[in-house]
């Protein structure tokens, strides 16, 4: 009997497969199509013949961990003890899964804000927990009264994604303060703060749990090298948590992957001396602004994109179809692949919205926009 009876082929796989079969421009799955930094590939080549191919320590490669600690200090003015408060993971998804497995027992509840990334719920179910979905407002703002009402004696964790995928929104200082107030009332509840798009923000900067004294001691913070350095296929990220929590996370990690790709860790440790993560926001803001400008005269209504590399748009003035049917027709008839937003809602709520990924080169975005403007 299946442990995940409701899980089938993901919409990301479906849409990417459709895009390939019909030679469509793929703005669906969230990965860049432009080359990675040549400096990184040069480093990768240079270390290929070095002694970097065997197991590394379970928690991570010490020089890389030191560089991460320095980045957290410069980005958030937080000093961490890298040997006890940091863990290198095989991507952010593995980090999220590991943290949930470490803390969620049978019957315990985890609050998830919808629309939500699709890896949260299965991890909770596989731990024997119960996902409690709370819908965001139609503009993707948070109704904190609804969130607080969802807390029970069984609540063990709340997952917050900031900047948020799929909506591209960023929590305000008032949102963070509401979250802190609620967690003050529930001191035993943990915060899993998914911040993989932390360096991809624009006019409104993301407020990390790393910067909040009330949150740091109860937070597991998730970061992603894949998102930050355009290397999603490397599947490497990291978790930051206080030592008392990290002890439990490492217990699961060592039996799940033990340690993470050695070559990637060594390469990144050297690369971090040559890159400034603070510049990433302006890089993607240029892409966001280009894409928005290219389709401003289309029939799509663009929502705010405050962070991540996603743009949500309404097609309500174009069609009454379900978002799943509309996105499939968009591929078949117009040659552009996107993601329907309803798949991110546990209740399947369909507001006639789709998600574009603009982490693409200028040629791809221009060609896609030409097709979208013809609809």
CA-closest candidate to residue 198, choices 111, 76, 84, 66 = 76
Cα separation, 70 vs 42, whole angstroms: 23
pLDDT at 92: 97
The two domains 11-30+278-372 and 54-271 share their CATH topology (first three levels equal):
no
Cis peptide before 163 (omega within 30 of 0): yes
> What helix, strand, coil percent values describe the chain, rounded to 5?
45, 15, 40
Cα separation, 122 vs 130, whole angstroms: 10
Cis peptide before 307 (omega within 30 of 0): no
Integer angstrom CA distances of residue 138 from 341, 351, 352 = 12, 8, 11
Return the ∠ at Cα 128 (arms to 126 and 129), rounded to 5°.
105
Within 10 A of 293 (CB to CB), how many other CB atoms are there?
11
| Assigned fold of 54-271 | 3.40.640
Residues 6+ apart with CB under 8 A from 58: 250, 253, 254, 258, 259
pLDDT at 240: 98
Name the H helices within the chain: 11-21, 38-47, 62-76, 82-85, 92-103, 120-126, 144-150, 173-185, 213-216, 225-228, 243-256, 262-271, 280-294, 323-334, 362-372
**Rounded average pLDDT per 10-residue block, the chain, 375 residues:** 84 84 90 93 96 97 98 98 98 98 98 96 97 97 98 98 97 98 98 98 95 97 96 97 98 97 98 94 96 97 96 97 96 95 95 97 97 96
* Contact (Cβ atoms closer than 8 angstroms) between residue 100 and residue 123: yes
CA-closest candidate to residue 364, choices 83, 24, 111, 18 = 24
Q: What is the rounded (10 degree) CA torsion for 295, 312, 278, 271?
A: -90
pLDDT at 179: 98
DSSP conformation class of 230: T
Predicted TM-score (pTM) of the model is 0.96
Name the residue ranges covered by the structural domains of the chain: 11-30+278-372, 54-271
Ramachandran angles phi, psi of 109, nearest 5°: -105, 145
What distance lies between CA 350 and its chain's CA centroid?
Answer: 22
pLDDT at 95: 98
Q: Which residues pair with 239 in a beta bridge?
A: 87, 222
pLDDT at 363: 97
Cα separation, 350 vs 83, whole angstroms: 45
Cα separation, 120 vs 99, whole angstroms: 11
Cα separation, 21 vs 56, whole angstroms: 41
| Assigned fold of 11-30+278-372 | 3.90.1150
pLDDT at 29: 83
Residues counted in the chain? 375
* Contact (Cβ atoms closer than 8 angstroms) between residue 130 and residue 123: no
């Amino acid at each position: 009997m299946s442990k995940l009876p409701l899980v089938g082929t993901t919409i990301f796989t479906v849409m990417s497969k459709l895009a390939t079969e019909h030679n469509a421009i793929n703005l669906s799955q969230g990965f860049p199509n432009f080359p990675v930094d040549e400096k990184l590939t040069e480093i990768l080549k240079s270390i290929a013949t070095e002694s970097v191919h065997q197991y590394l320590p379970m928690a991570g490669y010490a020089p890389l961990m030191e560089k991460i600690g320095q980045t957290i200090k410069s980005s958030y003015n937080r000093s961490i003890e890298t040997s006890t408060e940091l863990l290198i993971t095989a991507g952010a998804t593995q980090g999220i899964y590991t943290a949930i497995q470490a803390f969620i027992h049978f019957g315990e509840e985890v609050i998830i804000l919808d629309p939500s990334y699709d890896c949260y719920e299965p991890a909770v179910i596989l731990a024997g927990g119960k996902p409690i979905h709370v819908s965001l407002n139609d503009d993707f703002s948070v109704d904190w009264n609804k969130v607080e009402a969802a807390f029970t004696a069984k609540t063990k964790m709340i997952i917050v994604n900031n900047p948020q995928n799929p909506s591209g929104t960023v929590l305000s200082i008032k949102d963070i303060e509401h979250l802190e107030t609620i967690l003050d009332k529930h001191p035993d509840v943990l915060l899993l703060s998914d911040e993989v798009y932390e360096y991809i923000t624009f006019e409104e900067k993301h407020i990390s749990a790393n910067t909040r004294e009330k949150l740091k001691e109860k937070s597991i913070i998730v970061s992603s090298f894949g998102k930050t350095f355009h290397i999603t296929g490397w599947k490497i990220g990291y978790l930051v948590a206080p030592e008392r929590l990290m002890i439990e996370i490492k217990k699961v990690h060592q039996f799940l992957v033990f340690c993470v790709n050695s070559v990637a860790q060594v390469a990144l440790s050297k690369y971090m001396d040559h890159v400034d993560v603070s510049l990433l926001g302006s890089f993607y803001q240029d892409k966001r602004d280009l894409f928005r400008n290219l389709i401003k005269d289309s029939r799509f209504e663009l929502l705010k994109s405050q962070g991540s590399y996603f743009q949500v748009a309404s097609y309500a003035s174009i069609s009454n179809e379900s978002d799943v049917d509309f996105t499939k027709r968009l591929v078949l008839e117009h040659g552009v692949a996107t993601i329907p937003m309803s798949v991110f809602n546990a209740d399947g709520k369909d507001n006639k919205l789709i998600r574009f990924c603009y982490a693409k080169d200028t040629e791809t975005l221009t060609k896609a926009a030409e097709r979208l403007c013809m609809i």
